[in-house]
Amino acid sequence: MNPFRKNLQRNPVIKFCASIRIAIACLALLFILTLWGTIDQVTNGLYLAQERFFYSFFFTFAGVIPFPGAQLVLWVFFINLVCVALTRLVYKWDQAGIIVIHFGLLLFFVAAFVTYHGTEESHITLREGEGTNVSQGYHDWELAVWTEADNAQNVVAWDTKGLRPNDRLAFPEYGLTATVGHYYPNAEAYGTGQPSPDVVSASGIQTVKETPLDKEPEKNLPGALLTVRTSGPQGKEREVSVLLYGGEEQPAKITSGEQTYFMQLRHKRSPLPFILRLKEFTAEWYPNTQVARSYKSLVGITPAGGSGSREVLISMNKPLRYKDFTVYQSSYAVDEFGRESSTLAVVRNAGRLLPYCASFITFGGLALHFLMMAFKTKLR
Amino acid sequence: MLNSKPETRNSSQREPNGKQIQNSKFKYFKPVVSSFKYLGLNIVSDFGFRISDFCRRLLFCLFLVAITTVPAFAQQVCDLGPSVQPRKLRSLEHFGALAVLNDGRVKPVDTYARTLLLQFSGKTSFDRKPAVEWLGRLLFAPQTTRDDKVFLINNPEIATGMGIEAEPHRRYSFSRLQPGLAKLDELAEMADKINEKERSVVEQEVLRVYRNLVVYDKHSRVFSFAFPSPEFDIASPEVVKALELPEGQKAFSFYDIASRADRLRELTGRLEKKKSADWPARDKELFQLANTLFHWSLDYSDLPFTVVPAGDSSEDWSSPMDAVNRGFSDPKIREEIARLRDMMVYYWNGEQLQFDLAVRSFGHSVLNRVDPARKKAVGKIPLELFYNKANLFLWAKLFYAMAFFIFLWSFFPGGARPVWRRAAFFSVVAGLVPHALALALRIIIMARPPVSNLYETFIFVSMITVIAGIIIELVNKRWVGNLVASVCGFVFLMIASKFAAEGDTLQMLVAVLNSNFWLGTHVLSITTGYSGVCVAGLIGHLYILQRIKYPGDKAALESTYHQLIGALGFGLMMTFLGTTLGGIWADQSWGRFWGWDPKENGALLIVLWCAIIFHAKVGRFVGPLGLAAGSVVGIIVVMWAWFGVNLLSVGLHSYGFTSGVATGLLVYVLAELAFLAICVPLALKIPLPRREG
């Protein structure tokens, strides 16, 4: 046996980490978390269940009792699997199936890590004839600031995820700093609709109150109270309280000297390396029914800075792929004037093919092992 | 011969200016303005928008009639009285082979009738006669179905709520329900206001019954266009002559007048130049006819039984009445409507040959007109008729049940002889033949893999378990395969028949599932995985019972144990494949491989559970008995993943019909847990054989 491997096998830490008891415990915990997280979706919805059970290291239930989240369990399981690969797996031909299964699973863990950290999801909603090179997040928000001269084309934005009171947000391009008074991921706004002398807001709101997160995260509307420090006339600094609410369509307007700034809480926007223009949208129904047969968006795609445009038909199960971006047909809507708009999901996923590879390798291992076992049993 | 009594006008309300007053959703017979191209728009342009005093007064009178008419189901359709009955036709077989477009697909009228009757009564026949005969009566002579007890009301509270006495067999006739229909309107309106997920069983049942009655009523009006109606009575022989109608006849139908629409328009076209007060009696009658024609075209629109290819797009089909509105100018459609009218007349006269000829003539005309995709579907109708008639799943169930009884027989002295084992094996194979044939027919008819809803997954899993049982029996020759095949085959087909009671099981695919490649790979592999784990679970039961009953038979125990491991391994492998293929499909459709959706989680639970069992075995934490008990629990996990998660009604996969399944699933889980709680400790008390596994 390889002396390095022998040494590893003697190492008590690695020996402990490679224990099959840990593997079984991890499998059992994953089983419990998956079941629990599924049932929890009935009351709290998919998004909150994901955050609580599957994307956390720990969570508490019944108020105080801690329980490991899937992220922690998967890390432990990954370490266990690496140690097993180093010390316990028997690298012989008759164990080929088992070896391939475990290496396939290791690749699954890598794929999960890459996709979890490397995936960005957003969407584009277009009417026929419209085009864009910016996509909008589903439930991530940003604090965007721009000046009158920028006309909302040049924007400086801060991601609002995890904002806490007293956080300082600097906008050096504009000489602004904002200090967070409070930030609520979901809030209700109250006010008279009239401008207040104490606080600047877009729509005359005077206060925002925190409300519990909605089970459908798209319905959450954040609210924030910021203290914005601007350079006033004669270079004097002044502080302005700004109240922002996700439900406002217009930005709050802050005037400092001759300069006017706009500030808004809005869905996070991401630039795309292409311009997408919707040429035609078609919804097909089975005759005499309300059952959809297909949705199709004929789009023109023009690479950023490029002149050539090509047409692509996006439909259910047939997305558009452009570098590491994939554009899917997500939904459609008809407004009160009967105009149709198509919503396309935009996903950027650098490790998209990793789960595919991991799947086939692991299945290959399972099939190999199953056939070898069946053959052995038959021989017996 | 027809001798119709007055049809009461329906309850649609109109404002004096002729506009529709939107009835409440549950004040039934809310007319929908159809694209009345041929007659309606012209008449509206001639009269509706330049309305005369007379016209206003006439419409006001119509409005009064409408609002004083008892709403909803009080409308009588062709109430000819009990003494007038149609002469009996020998058979409606040819009629059953006609094509009808329903639920997005072209299907034979026979299937349509079965589905309709199933939806109403939970049965596919009435009075031991085929459903198509009952549908024929409903369409051609609706008043003869008023006393048929076809409306299944599962909850007696509903009958009480409607103010009628509950029937012991839970099936009610229309005439029995009629006095309570106004009350049912109210109950349905209340139930409809409640969020779908929060409705109680009774509220759901109220809406089901209500919808069934609406559907029944609409069907009873499908052939109204061909019935003589007093609203089309013509008193003046001069008008009869002017319209070139048969002289000496006074009673006419909508069809009779609509077929003279050109002449009517010509005659009434001149009226707009005159004041209504100056109109002669003949012109007033002509105007009234035109007006009635227009109102009928609105009131009798959007009816079911869409058998005539006519509509806004080439794919649309219409009911006969809508076809008159939409395509009467097309000579072929006009001819087809005439054949439909002939069918009704021959039906009443009991003229079988003429009826069948009219049916065939209509069928050929439709076939020559439809678009290529629909033509292909019409071509498959004989296959579907065979599928309906042969009742192949019933035969499969019978053979599987027989195999199981032969297995039971093996416990009697002499029953364990090889000849009985072979008999059971052949019975299983005999059951597999109709089972596989039925699945093949479904694949051909729908041109897709047979796994798009819960019903189909049950019949598919049933077949895979039977094949698995046959393979086990061929390899092992110890009854185990016969037992697995017969029990799984029979039980899963029985569960499938429960789902079949919901309606037509040959359904069109929603957009996201509309991919034969992914249905054929992901769904087939995951359901094959379900089969493997279920077979393992059944063998697990057997192993535990063997440990209790025959602890000394080491060879038998070892053999069963090996089969258990093989089935569980196969189940794990296929479930894993299905799960990951589902991930790839999700990545193709929704942009993510894994989204923690309940259905995805369900599949993951099966994989995790099998992995736990195998690792526990490798780590020697459990022995063969523990593995057997774990595989029994595996069935519960499969049931949860298969249709338990659908009960949660959340996520992207919340398809399938699962009402009433929760109780069954709970009872099953409790029964399995009770089995384990009793048998495992019992098996542990019995001394272990020296070597096994």
What pLDDT score was predicted for residue B533? 97
Best to test chain B binding among A55, A123, A288, A376 (most B CBs inside 10 Å): A288
Give me the phi and psi of B318, to 5 degrees please. -130, 160
3-state helix, strand, coil in chain B (%, to 5): 65, 5, 30
Ramachandran quadrant class, B202 (left: phi over 0; alpha: psi -120 to 50; beta: rest)? alpha
pLDDT digits (tens, 9 = 90+) for B175-187: 999 899 999 999 9
Exposure string (b/e) for B630-646, b if CB count within 10 Å is 16 or more? bbbbbbbbbbbbbbbbb
**Residue B647, CB half-sphere, CA atoms under 13 Å: how many?**
16
CA distance B615 to chain A (A): 7
Q: How far apart are CA B525 and CA B582, in angstroms?
A: 10
Contact B591 A54 (CB under 8 A): no
Three-state DSSP state, B260:
coil
| Chain A residues within an 8 Å CB radius of B584 | 355-356, 359
Count other Cβ atoms within 10 Å, centred on residue B385.
Answer: 17
Residue B150, classified by CB atoms within 10 Å of its CB into exposed (0-12), middle (13-18) or buried (19+), is: buried
Higher pLDDT residue, A220 or A233? A220
pLDDT digits (tens, 9 = 90+) for A153-164: 788 899 998 899
A282 touches chain B (CB under 8 A): no
> Which band of pLDDT confidence, cut at 50, 70 and 90, is reported for residue A256?
confident
- Which residue in chain B has the smallest CA separation from A324? B591
Contact A27 B608 (CB under 8 A): yes
Residue B123, classified by CB atoms within 10 Å of its CB into exposed (0-12), middle (13-18) or buried (19+), is: middle
Alpha helices by DSSP H, listed for chain A, are 3-10, 12-17, 20-49, 70-83, 96-118, 354-379
Using DSSP bridges, classify how beta strands A310-315 and A168-171 pair: parallel, antiparallel or unpaired. Answer: unpaired
H/E stretch holding A60 reads strand A58-61
Show the tokens assigned to B295: 């109102």
Best to test chain B binding among A35, A46, A317, A377 (most B CBs inside 10 Å): A317
Contact A49 B585 (CB under 8 A): no
Q: How far apart are CA B107 and CA B388, in angstroms?
A: 11
| B252 within 8 A of B228, measured Cβ to Cβ | yes
CB under 8 Å, gap of 24 or more: what pairs does B272-280 form?
B272/B46, B272/B47, B272/B50, B275/B52, B275/B53, B276/B52, B276/B53, B276/B54, B276/B55, B277/B53, B277/B54, B279/B54
**Residue A26, CB half-sphere, CA atoms under 13 Å: how many?**
20
Distances (CA, A) of B151 to B77, B137, B186: 18, 16, 19
Residue A114, classified by CB atoms within 10 Å of its CB into exposed (0-12), middle (13-18) or buried (19+), is: middle
Q: What letter would DSSP give residue B86?
A: P
Say whether pLDDT at A305 is over 70: yes
Contact B596 A46 (CB under 8 A): yes
Distances (CA, A) of A362 to A26, A127, B525, B579, B580: 19, 44, 15, 12, 10
| B678 within 8 A of B632, measured Cβ to Cβ | no
What are the residue ranges in chain B where pLDDT is below 70? 1-84, 415, 649-660, 688-693
Using DSSP bridges, classify how beta strands B105-108 and B99-102 pair: parallel, antiparallel or unpaired. Answer: antiparallel
Question: Nearest-CA neighbor of A204 among A247, A165, A166, A169?
Answer: A247
| Angle subtended at Cα B408 by Cα B404 and Cα B413, rounded to the nearest 5 degrees | 145
Angle between helix B418-446 and helix B454-476 axes, rounded to 10 deg: 150
Q: How far apart are CA B316 and CA B307, in angstroms?
A: 10
Give me the phi and psi of A253, to 5 degrees please. -110, 125
What pLDDT score was predicted for residue A232? 61
Over the Cα atoms of chain A, what is R_g?
A: 27
Contact B566 A377 (CB under 8 A): yes
- Which residue in chain B has the smallest CA separation from A29? B608
What predicted TM-score, i.e. pTM, was given to this entire model?
Answer: 0.81
| B513 within 8 A of B457, measured Cβ to Cβ | no
Task: Supply the CATH classification number for the domain A121-133+271-349.
Answer: 2.60.98.50
| A111 within 8 A of A359, measured Cβ to Cβ | no
Give me the phi and psi of B108, to 5 degrees please. -70, 150
Distances (CA, A) of B248 to B7, B234, B553: 22, 10, 94
Q: Which residues, 6 or more positions from B489, have their beta carbon under 8 angstroms from its beta carbon?
A: B396, B397, B400, B428, B431, B432, B435, B462, B463, B465, B466, B469
Question: Nearest-CA neighbor of B528 among B466, B475, B593, B575?
Answer: B575
User: Would you kindly state where each structural domain of chain A is located, as residue ranges?
Assistant: 3-118+354-379, 121-133+271-349, 137-269
Show the tokens assigned to B307: 């058998």
Out of B103, B589, B650, closest to residue A42 by CB: B650
First to last CA, chain B: 81
What pLDDT score was predicted for residue B652? 52
Torsion of CA B81, B85, B91, B95, to 10 degrees: -50
Over the Cα atoms of chain B, what is R_g?
A: 31
